[in-house]
Each structure stands twice: as structure tokens, then as C-alpha cells.
Structure 1
């Protein structure tokens, strides 16, 4: 139904309102209303659209006036527990820093509009690709949730172009043994044993920092991975060890090789903290370790996990075994790693084949 409503701001002194009662899919009586139409024709078009949507979906969700910020909060409360705790912390930081006070106050309905989304990303040209991708991931999460909730019908987030002018410096993916050894010999003991465990097991740093002596079975040469450290807070006192890991597959036993076994036995003779890699009986700032590694040795801790995968690949370890050692929940993740390594190896092979050729001795190209 449509009726006139007084409106002081309207030129003719009134606007039109669409309103009607209906029963949803649960047979509950509900009321729909929307005002502000300048002409009766506009109101009639809207009424037709809403009744068509009601017939198609069986309900009309009037929560579409919610902002992105509000839906983000709903999403995290409803589905946040499917992420690892460190991932949740990262999403919260990204949201607070780049979304909440910029486009977060925008209505969720706008996020089904491609032009609106593209305009958002056009404003991130001065950001690094990792930041822009993190923002895109959050928008993808929230809009997918909004579709499920019926706030919007679709989201073209996958179609946007990421316009990033600033290029990130390419990180060293594989850490040569000589570089690892140099770092191990020069770093403080707690840092050195941390990177040694990372190099020889491919474990994530959050898992390594939660290791206790009891998790190491020196008799059967096994490491039990049961916990991880939540270290996203700025205060070390806020760090906590939890039993929830990144994926269900993360909790597992992995082999303890002879090299790492010798290093751990020697280290534990003089270090007796509650957790193996602690500094002065307390956790250290993870960001400090990564900062030192990058500045002094040109690699990050995560590169050690990639190095472990690369070592397996170079020694013809099959994908299934690699998946189990890296504890990937999805074999596609392992396949992606192997694909990347395969392409890198192809390039190295070509470069090695032609490196003996002296480019300077090549004849100059003739330009027609």
C-alpha cells in the first residue's frame, strides 16, 4: 500500500510511503515500511520490487540499513571462531586501522555496487599489496556474511582491481643454509633455538613458542604440537598459550631429526624456562625477532617454513608426505607451494643453462 506523508523538506510538502504486512517463512506476521519517495510512481516501483523479493525469498530483511562496521561486528561474533586466534587479532587490527574510520560507516547495501568498491581500493594506491589484500579479505568475509543474512544480494568484490603503486620488496623465499647458520651462531640463545626449530621442522612461530620440554620425545624422536602462543598484543603480559591451533590438522606429532635433536639437548642443559624458547623466563616480542632477521640476515621467520617445504621438494618428497609434515589441512595449499617451487626451479634451470654465455659478446640487435 502507498500513502502520502507530510514532509517539510519536500518541495511540494509531502512524500510517499510504502507499507504492508506479510508473513515470513516461519509464518510470523511482519511489517514492512519505507518512506521518502518523491513521487507516487517511485513508491509503486519500490513496492513491486519488494513484493517480488518477498515472493522469491519468503522474507524481507530490513537490516540493510546497517553499516559495514555493524555487520563486521556481527560477522566476527557469529563466524570469527572459525579463524585462528592470531588471524582474528590481525583482522581486528586491519579493521581498526584501515576500515572503521574510513569507509566503515557506509551502508552495507553499497557493497553490492562495483563502482563503490573500486573507488575504495583506488584510495589505497599508497599502501603495500599485503595491506590491500588484508582489507580485501575482510570485505570479502563481511559481504559473504551479509549475503547469507539477506542484507545484500551479491558482492562484486572479486572483480575489483588492486591499484598499488608502491611495490613491496621481494622477500627471500628460501634461506640458504649458510645464512641460517650465520644467524644461528650470532643470535641470542632464545632466538637461535627458535629459528633452528623453524628451519628443521617448518613449524609456525606461534607453535614453536608454545613448546615445552615435555612436548619433545627424545626417545622416539617426536615433537608433539598441541598449543600456540597468541602474541598479537603489544604487552608481553597479554601473551597467552592456547590449545586452539590454526587448523584441526595443525595438532599433530612431527619427526625430530638428528640435527635439531642435538641442538635441543645441548640447549636444554642450561635453559630451564617453562617454555623452551623463552628469554629470561618470559616470552619475547615476536616482532623484535623478525625485525632482527630482516635487518641483519635478509629473511623473515616465515621464510623458514617456505625453506623447509623447498628442502622437501628438492629431495623429491611426495606431496602427501609434505602435506603431513607441514600440516596443511587442504592438499591444495601444498600443491600451490609445490607449483611455486616448480616454476622457480624452471627459471633457475634456464638461468643456469645460459649463464655461461657472455652477454657482452653477443652481436647487437639490428633495428629495422
Structure 2
């Protein structure tokens, strides 16, 4: 049997995906050993692609050469410098934002990128960079530019290129998106509708309908009273309720495959005090869930989640928020565009309008700093100023 030459790489057949994979080992510019996987429908195709990649990107001693292809460097940067440094959901955003850039400049090398060329690209993204050639938002294009600039910065530090033309482009002008909190009246109407549907499900004694209605009701209740993110609510377990008065937020549910449970967004857990009314609702929810689990027996996967869904595995976030929640909004007669995340905004807005110290609101929401809270909810400052003027009027200055 003929031996492979040094650096040729190993090849194997992936039966699950029915393709051949060549695995190459090489060194980057810092002398760190890396691996590259190259795929083909046949062994010959995979070997040919591997040979072409080595010719374009590696020197004779199997080291990464300067000035790699833009597409190859984006892949390398994402896998080596980003993947293990950010949350799985954030990594997914990086990949999505850089995918069109990777495609647009796939045949370019790093030193072939020019500022004017890149500026024209970002400008076109604003007009027809999205699906069906609709324009992307300034926020999305700003992120594309920012991630790509960081990507080239790393190449510059590693000596793979001698310039970063992305830094010479202009980021699109940002317009601050308005948040859409519910009014106190709308919040009560929504919660009442969810509770009413739960009671109706109990009346017809449909166990599946009861469980889904209960999960929807308690999720909305928790969001409105605590300001927790949907992923954090989906990851809640019964052990997270402490001394019958606090919920501890220790994890978040991610929709990224094989990364189901992660730490909260800021990486730091927090404690949120809850009311006795929410505690009573949670106890009733647990009673409903226990009865449902008893009925399903071994079919229910007991992960001790507060929102367990029909089989104990919980819900996919999109199904819960874009289907169950939005349909409930319609039945409640709330016909404007409201996301589940707006319940978090509703919680914060109602607290601030009631005169609660912004520092307390920041702690409940889990923001990294009070500046984040004040920036997001700057609209509430108008109400605060009105209170200040009323106080000044009473002083008769």
C-alpha cells in the first residue's frame, strides 16, 4: 500500500452525510497546528480540492502563507478566533453576517480588497442585500462591517496582510429602533386571555391542551413580572425557585444545535424577587405538570423544567414566541406588532414609570451596566422629567 507523503492529509468516508473528507494538518503564522477539512462527493474530488487548497494557501513546508483568500480566512477566523470566545447564538450571528461577504469576495485575496470596492458593497447591502433583493437594515450592515473589520484586524496582527481597507469605509447611519412595550392595560388583557384559555382547557379535560395553555400562561406571567429573556425562561428548572421568594437565573436555552443550554447573555447569573401571586401561579403550574407527567408515564422526559412542553423537552423558541404567543395576542385583541421580548420591555417600562430606581431595574434585567438600561429606556425619561417639574412647582421657586 502506497504511503501518503508528509502533509498530504488523511481521507475517510462520512457514511452519515455520504461524502469523502480530507483532513489536513498545517501551521498558522504563529506556528500553531491547525486542521482543515475538505469535502467531496468522491475520494478523487476531495483529494483534488485538498490539493488546490494547499496550493493556494500553504507553503511547501505546510505553513499558512501570507495573503490567503478572503473566503478561507473568514472560515479560519470564525473557527479559531471566534467560536470559543462567544456564545453559540452570537457565533451563529457572526457566521450569518459574514456569509454574504464571503460569497461576494470568495476569489479575492486579502491584499486585493479596496476601500471603495468595500464601501460600494456595503451601500448595496442597504438597498438590496436581503431576501428578494430587499435592503438590509443599517444595524445589520453595521454588524457586517464591524465583524469583517475585526476579521481583517486579526489577519493584520498575524502578518497575513499589511492593510485593513475595511477601516477606511463608513458605517451606515444608525436609527435607534423604538421599543414596543405593552401598556399596563394591554399586559393585563394578555395575561387574562392566557389564564382564561387555561381554565377553558381544564373544562374540556384535554390534557395536551391544558399543558400547552399552562406553559404559555406561566411563561407570559414570568416574563411580565421578572423581565427575563425568553431563553432564560425556557431554561428555568424548579430548583431555580429559592425560599419561595426568588428566581435564580443561571442558564439560558439556545436554539443552536448541540449547544442547548448556555450561561445567561452577560455570563453572570442573578436573583429576581417574585410576588406571592406569581409563586401561587407557579405552584398551580407544578400541580398541572405533575398530573400530566403521571398520565404520560415514561413518554415524558423529566428534565425538571418549569416549561416542559408536551414531552418534557420544552419548546423551540420560535414555535413558542412566533406561533403560540402571536396567536394569543390576536385572540386577546392586540393587533399591533408585539414580540415576546417586548414583555421584557414592558416589565422595565412599568417599573420605571412607577418610580422604581433604575439600578433596581438594571439588576432585575441583568444588564451589564446601568448605562445600558438608561439608553434602552430613555423614552421613560420624559415621564421622569414631568415628575420633576411637578415637584418644582410645589416648591414655588
Give the alignment's TM-score, normalised by structure 2: 0.60
111, 129, 141: which one pairs with 1:132?
141
Alignment match, 1:204: 229
**Structure 2 residue 216 is the aligned partner of structure 1 residue 191:** yes
Pick the aligned partner of 2:150 from 141, 147, 150: 141
Is 1:305 the equivalent of 2:344? Answer: yes
Question: Matches of residues 20-59 of structure 1 in structure 2 within 5 Å?
Answer: none
Cα deviation, 1:333-367, whole Å, max 9, x if unaligned, reads: 223124344369889xxxxxxxxxxxxxxxxxxxx
Confirm or deny: 8 A CA contact 2:270 2:363 kept in the other structure. no
Q: Matches of 1:75 and 1:204 in 2, distance apart?
A: 27
Aligned counterparts, 1:204-283, within 5 A: 204-219=229-244, 221-233=245-257, 240-242=260-262, 244-249=263-268, 251-272=269-290, 274-280=304-310, 281-283=312-314
Q: Tell me which residue corresponds to 1:67.
A: 70
The equivalent residue for 2:90 is 87
Correspondence for 1:29? none
SS at match of 1:271: helix
Q: Quick one: structure 1 residues 176 and 116, their matched pair in 2 at CA, closer, same or farther if it must change by over 3 Å?
A: same
The alignment partner of 1:63 has SS state of coil
Q: Report deviation, 1:156.
A: 4.3
Q: Secondary structure at the match of 2:231?
A: helix
User: Does the 8 A contact of 1:212 with 1:275 survive in 2?
Assistant: yes
State the distance in 1 between where 2:322 and 2:190 align: 13
Residue pair 2:234, 2:315 contacting (<8 A) in 1 also = no
Counterpart contact for 2:353–2:383, Cα < 8 Å: no
Q: Which contiguous aligned blocks of 4+ residues in structure 1 show a shift greater than 4 angstroms? A: 155-159, 343-347
Q: Give the whole-Å Cα distance in 2 for the aligned partners of 1:328 and 1:135.
A: 24
Cα offset, 1:174, TM superposition: 0.9
Matches within 5 A, 1:313-324: 313-324=352-363
Taking structure 1 as the reference length, the TM-score comes to 0.64
List per-residue Cα deviations over 1:158-191 (Å, max 9, x = no partner). Answer: 8425399xx99x7752112333334334452212
Distance 1:304 1:118, change over 3 A: same
The unaligned stretches of length 5 or more in structure 2 are 1-29, 31-63, 128-133, 195-212, 291-301, 387-397
Deviations 1:11-51 (A, max 9, x none): xxxxxxxxxxxxxxx9xxxxxxxxxxxxxxxxxxxxxxxxx
Q: Measured at CA, do residues 343 and 143 of structure 1 come closer, stay the same or move farther in structure 2, by a change above 3 Å?
A: farther
1:4 corresponding residue in structure 2: none
Q: Does structure 2 conserve the Cα–Cα contact (< 8 Å) formed by 1:183 and 1:192?
A: no
The SS at the match of 1:65 is coil
Q: 1:128 to 1:71 in 2, by over 3 A?
A: closer
Report the count of equivalent residues. Answer: 279
Q: Give unpaired runs (5+ residues) of structure 1.
A: 1-25, 27-60, 348-368
1:128-172 deviation digits (Å, cap 9, x = unpaired) = 3154344234324323433433434445458425399xx99x775
